[in-house]
Structure 1
Amino acid sequence: MIDQPKKTTQVAKRTQVERRAAAERRLFVAGVRLASEKGFDGFSLAELGELAGFSRGLPAHYFGSKDNFQKQLVKFIIAEFNNNQEIPEPKKDLSSLVKTIEKAFDISDEDMIYSRILLIILSDTSGKFLAFEELEAFCNRTFDNIENDLRQGMNDGYIRQDIDPKLISRILIKTICTVIQMALSDDQIEPKKTGQELIKLILNGIEVV
């Protein structure tokens, strides 16, 4: 019976940790929504708290500052993106690349919100997000994956032999990011059509005729 208070305290602490983790996740999900609609600098921590269903002061209490929240939000976005990724089947054509680009430009697809947010982050011109270790590691993995796909395509004979896969992988990602940002910021640009035109441009540049 003497140990009972300790057990009760441990349970209470676990419950408190679980409650905080659940609250932080709701704040991150709300942050993703606000960032997709207003940009990362277009909302306040007070707005974040309201959208998540908490007090206006809770985000500041949890994270201290907007910069720290943004850093934690980037970590959350990368983790969610990785968790939602499907492992593609190996194919000896460019259909996987085409599908990836089509999904990126389908901004009406709620399932693609983390992909779109990552593209917005990567196209940020201030450079502040690139200082985050998690984002740098994610970028390097993305570049490496595309580079490896391009090399495999060259080996299989459906991608031109005279391209530089390392350089093209970086040009490809940067181009997609830039065009996505343009499509999201200009109401006169239809994202899906823009994606299709970009696919034609890319295929004409690297595909064996």
Structure 2
Amino acid sequence: MYKRVLLKISGEALAAGRGFGIDAVFIHKVAEEIADAHALGCQIGIVVGGGNFFRGVAQQAIDMDRVAADHMGMLSTVINAIALQDAIEKRGIMCRVMSAIEMHQVAEPYIRRRAMRHLEKGRIVIFAAGTGNPFFSTDTAASLRAMEIKADILLKATSVDGIYSADPKKDPDATRFEQVTYNDIMRLGLGVMDTTAVSLCKDNNMPMMVFSMREQGNIVRVISGEKLGSLVTA
């Protein structure tokens, strides 16, 4: 269905409900799914969050300078990226971590043309350290990277099975949207992504699929064209 995708995985998802750190069993399940999707011939770029270690807007950063806190959050994404790279490479697939903050000992610097070349050669590319700038979330980094690598779609893997009118964990009457526009997300205040990321996708006609990664095989199903979760269009 899709030749090239950008997969956004939150840091919280890698904690698998533990709240902090990386769940070793879960990250290998994610790597296995990514390997299965790669076997279909799809070129895969990945952006990981860092919320399982530190978030610049979290409660523990409330007394910190926002720039310092955001830099700590970016470094957290690098930890997750290296862990995911290791799990993917254990399945015999070449994987590169490219960081927006230069750290040559652990990751390649992010260079757009080099990233696209890696994808063309069949390597999986994990984009770490967000955009490299404070005040921008990893959702915005995912939107930006999706457009830079000319992805067919942005896939946002979450803990819920789509976009709801309210938080389904708190409101049992929340209804799920099969399809929604970026304008609707902003108008209704749906907390899918931050406003910057939504505007970026809308202005550049980047479709997005929001789906649950709790169910084994969902990444492959989405890439194969199955209608899972919620589709967002411009």
Q: State the TM-score, normalizing by the size of structure 2.
A: 0.27
Answer 1 or 2: higher relative contact order, Cα 8 Å, separation at least 6.
Answer: 2
Give the structure with the higher percent helix.
1
Larger radius of gyration: 1
Give the structure with the higher percent strand.
2
Q: State the TM-score, normalizing by the size of structure 1.
A: 0.30
